[in-house]
Chain A
Amino acid sequence: MVYLTRMEHFNAAHKLYNPAWSKERNDDVFGLCANENWHGHNYDLYVTVKGQPDADTGFLYDVKKLSLIIKEHVIEKLDHKNLNLDVPFMQGKMCSSENLVVEIWKQLLPHLPKEVQLHSIKLYETPRIFVEYFGEIE
């Protein structure tokens, strides 16, 4: 088994704000991230697939094609967008990196070719803050 990772990036605005709570409680829990006029990040996205390299090409999968799949189904929907307002699959959800990485997994999974398994998605919100998801439900 070999693991192959492709890194893509996007930038976006968001805020962390629970509409069921008062402004005070949001400020208390989310601090600066609750700023009503949004803030933003350069996100780095690492997608790792696993499988056996093909005998003829030596490739697990053509990484250029993997890049195009990620761009079409994830980056196009997120890049230069407002995660809270512009992204259909984040509607009604808190736009934390934790929730975003799970939704990115769901977006990507149906579009990956049979020969690879999705292993993990790692999402950097800042150079020092990142989340990882391995598709585990519990």
Chain B
Amino acid sequence: MAERVSVFRKEHFNAAHRLYNAAWDYAKNEKVFGKCALPNYHGHNYEMEVKITGEPDKDTGYVIDLKSLSELIKREVVQKFDHKNLNLDTEEFKNLNPTAENIVIVIYKVLRPHIDSKFELQVRLYETPRNFVEYPVGK
């Protein structure tokens, strides 16, 4: 059995959002989410690292063609979210709080059907250079 290798592609998008639970009043939202609950939105430069783990193909030496992975991420994720308001402009977050945690799960679910099941997929999402999340949880 060939050795398994993880390959990574970074992509980015920027978006506005706010953190707000519609089942709570404004005071509770402000208490829990602080400035992130402000009504007129704020925004981030999001950086994604998409990790694919598998065996390098014996003919190409590639786990996956990173150019095609880049195109897939751009088509399925960046197109949806770049320069958008996550709360207002996307189907995915109409009824889901757009925390980094929820965004990374959505990105995983969007990408997974497009990636051969023989590969493992993991996504890391940076909301700021110092706040980042990963899904599924690490190996």
Binding site for B on A (CB under 8 A): 9, 11-14, 32-33, 35, 37-42, 79-82, 85-86, 126-127
Contact = CB atoms under 8 A, between A and B. Distances in A.
Contacts of A81: 38, 40, 42
A85 B41 CA distance: 10
Contact of B42 (A12, A37, A126, A127): A12
Interface stretch (B9-17, B56-64, B65-73, B109-117): B9-17
B138 to A, nearest CB: 24
23 contacts: A11-B43, A11-B44, A12-B42, A13-B16, A13-B40, A13-B41, A35-B84, A37-B84, A37-B89, A38-B41, A39-B82, A39-B83, A40-B17, A41-B14, A42-B44, A79-B35, A80-B42, A81-B40, A81-B42, A82-B40, A82-B41, A86-B38, A127-B45
A13 B17 CA distance: 8
Contact of A39 (B16, B35, B38, B129): B16
B42 A40 contact: yes
Nearest first, the 8 closest Cβ-Cβ pairs linking A and B are A40-B43, A32-B83, A80-B35, A82-B40, A37-B85, A13-B16, A38-B16, A40-B16
B128 interface: yes
Nearest to B34: A80
Contacts of A127: 45
